[in-house]
C-alpha cells in the first residue's frame, strides 16, 4: 500500500469518527425535524474525504490490475445525497432524511472496520472482532435512530439512555419494557434480535477454536 493510500485511509477513519460524533450530537441536541447547517457541512466534508479515499483505491487497484466492480458500493455510500437533495430544493420528510443520512454513516463504519482488520490477525479472531465491531456499531446506530423517531411520540422513552438500554436488551434477545410505536422502531425491534442471534454461533466458533488450539499444543 502506498503512503498516499495510507494517508487517505487514516483521513477516512478520522472523518468517520467525526461524522459519528456529529450525528450523535445532532440527534441528542437537535429539534428532530431538520438537520442543522453545521452537521450538513460536516457530512459534506466527510463524504468528500470518503470519495478521495475511493479515488485512491481505484488508482491503486488499476495499477495492480484488480477489478473495479467490488469497490462501487464504497462510492455509492460516499455520495452526500442529503446535501444534493438540499441543493436541489427537494422537500423530503424527516424520516426519509434519517435514512439518507445513514448511508455515509455506514461508510464510516467501513473505514473503522479497515482499522480493525489492521489490528487483528487472520482467522477466527479477526472474524469475531469484525462481528463484535459490527454489532456494537449497528446497536449504537439503532439506538440513535430509535431515539430520533420515538422521543417525540413514545411516552415510555425518557432520554437517550433508555434508547441505548432498549437497543442492547433487544440485541441480546432479552427484550425491553419500552415498546416502539413507529414503523421504524418496530423494524429495528425485529432486526436487533436477528443480529444478536447471528452473533452466538460466531462466538461459539471462536471459543471452540481456542480450545482446539490449546488441546493441540498439549499433545
Q: What is the pLDDT of residues 30-79, one digit of tens each?
A: 777 778 888 889 999 999 988 888 888 777 766 555 566 667 777 888 88
Task: Assign residue 159 the CATH number of its domain.
Answer: 1.10.287.70
Boundaries of domain holding 84: 1-111
Same domain for 10 and 52: yes
Do 65 and 99 belong together in one domain?
Answer: yes
Residues 105, 161 share a domain: no
pLDDT digits (tens, 9 = 90+) for 83-115: 888 888 877 776 677 778 777 887 777 767 666
Residues 62 and 142 in one domain: no
70 and 133 share one domain: no
User: What is the tally of structural domains in the chain?
Assistant: 2
Taking the CB of residue 197, how many other CB atoms lie within 10 A of it? 12
Place of cell 456494537: 136
Instruction: Mark whether 141 and 105 lie in a shared domain.
Output: no
Residue 218 is predicted with a pLDDT of 66
Residues 96 and 202 in one domain: no
Q: What is the pTM of this model?
A: 0.76
Amino acid at each position: 500500500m502506498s503512503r498516499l493510500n495510507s494517508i487517505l485511509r487514516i483521513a477516512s477513519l478520522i472523518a468517520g469518527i467525526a461524522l459519528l460524533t456529529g450525528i450523535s450530537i445532532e440527534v441528542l441536541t437537535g429539534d428532530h425535524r431538520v438537520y442543522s447547517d453545521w452537521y450538513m457541512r460536516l457530512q459534506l466534508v466527510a463524504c468528500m474525504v470518503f470519495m478521495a479515499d475511493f479515488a485512491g483505491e481505484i488508482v491503486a487497484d488499476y495499477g495492480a490490475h484488480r477489478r473495479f466492480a467490488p469497490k462501487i458500493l464504497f462510492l455509492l455510500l460516499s455520495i452526500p445525497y442529503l446535501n444534493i437533495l438540499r441543493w436541489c430544493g427537494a422537500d423530503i420528510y424527516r424520516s426519509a432524511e434519517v435514512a439518507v443520512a445513514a448511508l455515509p454513516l455506514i461508510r464510516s463504519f467501513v473505514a473503522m472496520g479497515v482499522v480493525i482488520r489492521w489490528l487483528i490477525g487472520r482467522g477466527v479472531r479477526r472474524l469475531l472482532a469484525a462481528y463484535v465491531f459490527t454489532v456494537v456499531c449497528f446497536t449504537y446506530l439503532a439506538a440513535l435512530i430509535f431515539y430520533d423517531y420515538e422521543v417525540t411520540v413514545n411516552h415510555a422513552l425518557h432520554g437517550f439512555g433508555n434508547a441505548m438500554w432498549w437497543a442492547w436488551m433487544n440485541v441480546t434477545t432479552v427484550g425491553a419494557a419500552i415498546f416502539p410505536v413507529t414503523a421504524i422502531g418496530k423494524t429495528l425491534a425485529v432486526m436487533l434480535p436477528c443480529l444478536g442471534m447471528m452473533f452466538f454461533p460466531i462466538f461459539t466458533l471462536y471459543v471452540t477454536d481456542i480450545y482446539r488450539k490449546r488441546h493441540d499444543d498439549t499433545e
